[in-house]
Chains A and B, each alone.
Chain A
Amino acid sequence: MIVIKNAKILTVTNGEIDNGTVLVENGKIVAVGQNVPIPESAEVVDAAGKYLVPGFIDCHCHVGIVPEEVDWEYSDVNETTDPVTGHLRAIDGIDFSDRGFADAIDGGVTALLIHPGSANVIGGTDIAVKSWGPSVEDRILRNPAGMKMAWTAGGRRASRQGKNQPYPTTRMGVAAILRQYLFEAREYLKKKEAGQEFPAKSVSQLMTLEALAMVLKREIPARIHSMTPRDFQAIIRLQDEFGFDFTIEHGDEAHLIAPELAKRGIGVVYGPFLGDRWVPMFPNSNPQAAKILAESGVLVAFQTDHPVISIRDLRLQAAICVKHGLNPDDALKMLTINAAKIMGLDKRIGSIEVGKDADFTIFSDHPLLVKARVEQVYINGIKVK
Chain B
Amino acid sequence: MIAIIGGRVHTCGSRGTIDRATILIDGTKIVDVLERADVPSDCQIVNAEGLEIVPGFVDAHSHLGIPTEGLGVPDANEGSDPITPHLRAIDAFDPFEPYIERVLQSGVTTVGLLPGSSVSFGSLIEEIGVITGMGSVIKTFVREGRVTVLREKAGMKFAVGAHPKRFFAEKKAPPATRMNIIGLIRENLEAARLYSLKKTSPTSEDFNLKKELLLELLHREFPARVHVHTVRDIISIIGLQTEFGFDLVLDHVTEGYMIADELARRNVPCVVGPLTVTRRGSDLKNISLKNPAVLAKAGVKVALTTDHPTFPAGYLPFHAGIAVREGLDYEMALKAITIVPAEILGVADRVGSIGKGKDADMVLFHGDPLEIISEIRGVMVDGQFVAGSLSQGNS
Contacts and interface: CB of A to CB of B under 8 A. Distances in A.
Contact of B372 (A277, A280, A319): A319
B278 A307 contact: yes
B370 A370 contact: yes
Nearest to A67: B279
A73 to B, nearest CB: 10
A191 to B, nearest CB: 38
Nearest to B320: A370
B282 A71 contact: yes
B162 interface: yes
B285 A69 contact: yes
B318 A68 contact: no
Nearest to B119: A276
Contact of B99 (A75, A160, A280): A280
Interface stretch (B205-213, B250-258, B309-317): B309-317
A313 B277 CA distance: 10
Contact of A309 (B99, B166, B276, B370): B276
Interface in B256-281: 276-281
Given A275-B311, A276-B70, A279-B309, A68 B280 contact: yes
A197 B129 CA distance: 58
B373 A70 contact: no
Interface in B61-112: 68, 70-71, 98-99, 102
Interface in A160-184: 160
Contacts of A100: 278
A315 to B, nearest CB: 10
A316 B289 CA distance: 15
A371 B373 contact: no
A322 B123 contact: no
A369 B371 contact: yes
Contacts of A320: 315, 372
Contacts of B68: 276
Interface string B121-147: 111110000000000000000000000
B172 to A, nearest CB: 16
A150 to B, nearest CB: 14
Nearest to B313: A279
Interface string A312-346: 01001001101100000000000000000000000
B99 A279 contact: yes
Contacts of B121: 72, 307
Contacts of A160: 123-124
Contacts of B284: 69
B220 interface: no
B354 interface: no
Contacts of A69: 279, 281-282, 284-285
Contact of A99 (B279, B321, B322): B279
Interface residues of B, number: 42
Given A279-B71, A279-B309, A371-B321, A274 B276 contact: yes
A68 B371 contact: no
A307 B280 contact: yes
**Which one of A68, A276, A310, A371 has the highest number of Cβ atoms from chain B below 10 Å of its Cβ?**
A276
Contact of B281 (A71, A277, A310, A313): A71
Interface in B304-355: 308-312, 315, 318, 321-322, 324-325
Contacts of B375: 323
Contacts of B166: 71-72
A368 interface: yes
A281 interface: yes
Chain A interface, DSSP helix/strand/loop, else mixed = loop
Contact of B310 (A273, A275, A371, A373): A275
Given A71-B282, A369-B373, A373-B325, A277 B70 contact: yes
A66 interface: yes
Given A71-B282, A72-B281, A78-B123, A322 B373 contact: yes
B123 A72 contact: yes
Interface in A336-385: 368-373
Contact of B321 (A273, A278, A370): A370
Contacts of A60: none
Nearest to A283: B98
B230 interface: no
Contacts of A369: 371-373
B318 A276 contact: no
Contact of A323 (B123, B124, B310, B373): B373
A103 B276 CA distance: 11
**Which one of A160, A310, A313, A370 has the highest number of Cβ atoms from chain B below 10 Å of its Cβ?**
A370
A77 B122 contact: yes
B11 interface: no
Nearest to A319: B372
Contacts of B310: 275-276
B312 A279 contact: yes
Contact of B278 (A68, A72, A279, A280): A68
A8 interface: no
Contacts of A370: 318, 321-322, 325, 370-372
Contacts of A148: none
Contacts of B118: 276
Contacts of B318: 316, 370
A189 B125 CA distance: 43
A280 B122 contact: no
A194 to B, nearest CB: 43
B372 A313 contact: no
Nearest to B312: A278
Nearest to A103: B278
A306 interface: yes
B123 A310 contact: no
Contacts of A276: 68, 70, 118, 309-311
B99 A70 contact: no
A69 B70 CA distance: 24
Nearest to B376: A323
B276 A313 contact: yes
Nearest to A364: B325
Nearest to B126: A276
Nearest to A310: B278
A306 B162 CA distance: 21
A68 B279 contact: yes
A368 B162 CA distance: 35
29 contacts: A68-B279, A68-B285, A69-B282, A70-B281, A71-B162, A71-B281, A75-B122, A100-B278, A160-B124, A274-B311, A275-B310, A275-B311, A276-B68, A276-B118, A276-B310, A278-B312, A279-B71, A279-B309, A307-B121, A307-B279, A309-B277, A309-B278, A310-B277, A316-B318, A369-B371, A370-B318, A371-B321, A371-B324, A371-B368
Interface of B: 68, 70-71, 98-99, 102, 118, 120-125, 162, 166, 276-282, 284-285, 308-312, 315, 318, 321-322, 324-325, 368, 370-375
Given A71-B162, A274-B315, 10 more contacts: A68-B280, A71-B282, A72-B166, A274-B276, A276-B310, A278-B309, A319-B373, A322-B373, A371-B324, A371-B325
